[in-house]
Amino acid sequence: MTQTARPPSADTAASTGRGLAARVSLGRLFTPPSTEFVMIASTAILLTLFGLVMVLSATSANPDVPYDDALKQGVFALIGIPMMLLVSRLPVRFLGRIAWPALIAATALQLLIFVPGLRVSSDGNTNWIRIAGFQLQPSEFLKLALALWIAFVLLRKQARLGIWHHVFIPVVPVSILVTGTVIGGHDLGTAMVIVMIVLGCLFFSGVKLRLFLLPVIAGIVGVLVYALSSENRMKRILAALNPDACDITDECYQAAHGVWGMANGGIFGVGLGNSQEKYGWLPAAANDYIFAIVGEELGLIGCLLVLALFAFFAVGAFHIIRKTDDPFIRVATGGIVVWVIGQALINIGVVLRVFPVMGVPLPFMSQGGTALLSVLLACGVLLAFARTMPASRHLSPAGGRVAK
């Protein structure tokens, strides 16, 4: 007598479904990260560690607390790297949702520089605040918040980016207000970087060239007007245009010593820790002129290594821009990569006396906890974007090939 096969029970089917879901989840957990993820994460960590070593070397000449500054920088690195990895696990949709709150919070924090008793001044720049004994630079967080906000706003207007008022409103007015809070602290370098972020976001959004040129011209004119309105800033600009004519004991003192340190390093450098310029000759050795210490101690080889790491970072970010179909990811990534790479080029150009002194730190490497923390958070956002990149096809549990 022939037996009729019985259909599987509902419990058996549910159990099979749970088992399959578990196997798929484990497969996703152990899926190798994308190339972009590896490039951005590795270069960010290597540059941070490299920066810690150079900050330690540059501040070791302080006879009172030779390791205090390096320890503080190390604490921010220990906080920033885990936060970078934590942010990398956030959904892209969540990053878009927090764009408005992040910009409002960062702007409110920046406005504290106008509160007496909280603001801190340095050489005429009042773009720092001190709260409960901790000093921070709120404008560093404005950079990331503004890039995410512009990307979120332009995402909603993708179909209308050919109409000028949909491109400019509210992006341009809000960006002007944000930049104004930074200019109010007399920080031209940071204001220029924020302008670059805005222009980078507009460029990668696919705005028509004729509409893109208007903010470019407005940004250049605004920077020139602000630069020409100060005698001190004019001296620095003229010193960069005519280095031989400026006084090396006054406005060109730091610029001259930065170049001398680089020249002293030669090809292979004088050796790690053996810099002479850090012994009081180069005032901002651990900050804006950390690249000069790299050149002096590690020579041309060390400088090329730093440039290569930034190049790998840029390649990873541009791969995200090229591969993604999400306008939010493309615009935000464009703003962040213009910020990091543009700021690095400005800093290195200042050390080489190509640009006037502007007080812009070298990302990842210059001393400054707020700057390091903000750029690591930005890298976390890029890593979250990199996790959405199309991965290579792999075998399914049934043996077929499926796309992730």
Read off the pLDDT band of 245 (50, 70, 90): low
Residue 131's H or E segment, with its range, is: strand 125-131
Q: 148 pLDDT exceeds 70?
A: yes
Residue 344 pLDDT > 70, yes or no? yes
| pLDDT range class, residue 214, cuts 50, 70, 90 | confident
Whether 154 maps to a domain, the answer reads: yes
pTM confidence score = 0.86
Is 206 domain-assigned? yes
In a domain, residue 341? The reply is yes
What would the mean pLDDT of 323-335 be, rounded to a whole number? 95
**CA distance to 190, 200, 239, per residue, from 141 (Å):** 11, 17, 31
With tokens 């543009």, the residue in question is 342
Is 181 exposed, middle or buried, given 0-12, 13-18 or 19+ CB atoms closer than 10 A? buried
Structural domains counted in the chain = 1
pLDDT tens-digit readout, 93-125:
999 999 999 999 999 999 999 988 888 887 677
Q: Is there a domain that residue 28 lies in?
A: no
Assess if residue 6 is contained within a domain: no
Q: Which domain does 265 fall in, by range?
A: 34-388
Query: d(Cα 89, Cα 385) in Å, to the nearest integer?
Result: 9
For residue 342, is it within any domain? yes
